[in-house]
Amino acid sequence: MRYSIFSLLAQAATGHRGWPPMWRNPEPRRAYEAIVVGGGGHGLATAYYLARKHGLTDVAVLEKGWIGGGNVGRNTTIIRSNYLLPGNIPFYEHSLKLWEGLERDINYNAMVSQRGVLNLFHSDAQRDAFVRRGNAMRVHGVDAVLLDARELRRLAPFLEMDDARFPIRGALLQPRGGTVRHDAVAWGYARAADRLGVDVIQNCEVTGIRVERGAVTGVESSRGFIAARRVGLACAGHSSRVAAMAGLRLPIESHVLQAFVSEAIKPLIPGVITYGAGHFYVSQSDKGGLVFGGDIDGYNSYAQRGNLATVEDVVEGGLAMMPSLGRLRLLRSWGGVMDMSMDGSPIIDRTEVEGLYLNAGWCYGGFKATPASGWCFAHLLATGGSHPLAAAYRLDRFLSGELIDEKGQGPHPNRH
Ligand SMILES: Cc1cc2nc3c(=O)[nH]c(=O)nc-3n(C[C@H](O)[C@H](O)[C@H](O)COP(=O)(O)OP(=O)(O)OC[C@H]3O[C@@H](n4cnc5c(N)ncnc54)[C@H](O)[C@@H]3O)c2cc1C
């Protein structure tokens, strides 16, 4: 069913009893032209663009749990393209442009809200770094505005500007950045891919990757062997474990990242705010809760929950930026498993196994990349060659040293 004002009116008139399921619940077939492992945002977007852009509909997405149960439904919903390095800016800007047309494209309300992203700065040196970033963005046609303290105060009067441990001097604003309802993205892409003929198969865990004479021939799964000559891995925090099934060792560590939601309050925070003196980012959901997060937990884990020391660290950052937060009660928190690459940038590339492709290393920034990642990974799976926008995201850069060290953090995911 196509969603529209007319289908809504028709359903309203009949007590909303006629809405069909959003996607089928198919049994896995014995063979597909292409399999995508992982039904998160990236896997589902890949399947959708494979079908829509490349006409490849004999595709299955295999998800070990349920659609939306991974990081795609656990993140803090921020989208932006305020990157610095040439390998990254065009890719993330393409993603933002796809977000801007996404709801129309997939006929689904994902609550894309371009409410602006503010990066606060606290010193002259940090301002210079943000000026450089803003100029790099503008050279690439991306929107960026530098705000001084007075302009920022007008926009966000609740910030602790002067008496704080790190007085705030201004901010870099990307007006087109914002938030998107995270799990709606998974549902919307799943529904749109299903409508084009893709099999979205939940409760189907991939347990092995069959390789014969250097080429992939299919996957072992909890529902039997499924053959395919093209297999794309989009398993986010589980990338290392799944790639190991084909004998690959990835330059990726898995860490927990937590998210937090406060009780609901009246509208306070106009957009997304990130704190330049620590690691803290916050926005306000349409329901009124403040949604925020900070650092990853510093140890390797596959658990979808974190520890209290990190909760304290995140909340400390928030209180330093905005002491009024201390009046709020924390409603809930959860964790997701992050695929931390060693230069902070992703991998969208072939592997040494013919027909086996890798999409991984999204660190804690992969949600905003979902549309472009699916777009470029679908291109790779369909044509066998890298999309120009993702040309820098090679797996062998960790051997050659051509790192895309966007945050200057280098190989130290424990020191973010
Ligand atoms: C708390 C938190 C906050 C974040 N905030 C932001 C943010 O504000 N902005 C932003 O851009 N990014 C953010 N991120 C990062 C972003 O959510 C991830 O980078 C992105 O969602 C990862 O891609 P995905 O959606 O495909 O992952 P997932 O949804 O995790 O999808 C991977 C899927 O693979 C499945 N899988 C794994 N192993 C197997 C197997 N063997 N067989 C079958 N299926 C398997 C998993 O079950 C999972 O569903 C955040 C992440 C977290 C956890």
- Both 276 and 322 in a single domain? yes
Structural domain contains residue 302: yes
pLDDT for 409: 55
pLDDT for 279: 87
Of ligand 1's listed atoms, the one at least distance from the Cα of 205 is: 42
CA distances to 47, 51, 176, 238, 367 from 2, rounded to whole Å, are 19, 18, 28, 34, 26
Q: Is the Cβ atom of 68 under 6 angstroms away from ligand 1?
A: no
Q: Which of 306, 341, 376 is the C-terminal boundary of a domain?
A: 341
Query: Closest Cα to residue 228, out of 202, 200, 209, 201?
Result: 209
CA distances to 37, 63, 411 from 160, rounded to whole Å, are 45, 44, 33
pLDDT tens per residue, range 209-230: 999 999 999 999 999 999 999 9
- Both 292 and 324 in a single domain? yes
pLDDT for 298: 86
pLDDT for 414: 47
| pLDDT of 408 higher than 80 | no
CA of 66 to the centre of ligand 1 (A): 12
Residue 384 sits in a domain of what CATH number? Answer: 3.50.50.60
| pLDDT of 120 higher than 60 | yes
Count of domains observed in the chain: 2
Spell out the SS3 assignment of 45-76. HHHHHHHHHHCCCCEEEECCCCCCCCHHHCCC
Structural domain contains residue 102: no
Structural domain contains residue 360: yes
Q: Which of 278, 313, 341 is the C-terminal boundary of a domain?
A: 341
| Cβ neighbours of 206 (radius 10 Å) | 24
* Letter string b/e over residues 297-309, b meaning 16 or more CB atoms within 10 A of that residue's CB: bbeebeebebeee
**In this structure, what token pair is assigned to residue 218?**
């299919």
- Both 337 and 347 in a single domain? no
Structural domain contains residue 125: yes
- Both 162 and 294 in a single domain? yes
- Both 304 and 286 in a single domain? yes
- Measuring from atom 41 of ligand 1, which residue has the nearest CA? 206
pLDDT for 405: 87
The secondary structure element, H or E, covering residue 333 is strand 330-341
Structural domain contains residue 91: no
**Burial class (CB within 10 angstroms; exposed 0-12, middle 13-18, buried 19+) of 24:** middle
End-to-end Cα, the chain, rounded Å: 45
Structural domain contains residue 101: no
CA of 71 to the centre of ligand 1 (A): 3
CA gap 43, 206 in Å, rounded: 14
- Both 331 and 278 in a single domain? yes
* Letter string b/e over residues 126-138, b meaning 16 or more CB atoms within 10 A of that residue's CB: bbebbeebbebbe
Q: Which of 341, 364, 390 is the C-terminal boundary of a domain?
A: 341
- Both 172 and 259 in a single domain? yes
Q: What is the mean pLDDT of the chain?
A: 95
CA of 40 to the centre of ligand 1 (A): 6
Structural domain contains residue 262: yes
pLDDT for 411: 52
- Both 351 and 337 in a single domain? no
- Both 235 and 360 in a single domain? yes
CA gap 217, 211 in Å, rounded: 6
pLDDT tens per residue, range 35-54: 999 999 999 999 999 999 99
For ligand 1, mutation pick of 62, 71, 183 (most atoms within 8 Å of CB):
71
Structural domain contains residue 156: yes
pLDDT tens per residue, range 256-300: 999 999 999 999 999 999 998 888 999 999 999 999 999 999 889
**In this structure, what token pair is assigned to residue 104?**
């129309």
| pLDDT of 376 higher than 50 | yes
For the full predicted model, state whether its pTM sits above 0.85: yes
Res. 412 pLDDT band, cuts 50 70 90: low
Domain that holds residue 210: 25-78+182-251+343-415
pLDDT for 277: 87
- Both 261 and 323 in a single domain? yes
pLDDT above 70 coverage of the chain, percent: 98
Q: Where would I find the beta strands (DSSP E) of 175-251?
A: 178-179, 199-201, 206-212, 215-221, 224-227, 230-233
CA gap 269, 376 in Å, rounded: 34
CA of 164 to the centre of ligand 1 (A): 35
Q: Is the Cβ atom of 75 under 6 angstroms away from ligand 1?
A: yes
pLDDT for 336: 97
pLDDT for 43: 98
- Both 351 and 328 in a single domain? no
Residue 298 sits in a domain of what CATH number? Answer: 3.30.9.10
- Both 317 and 363 in a single domain? no
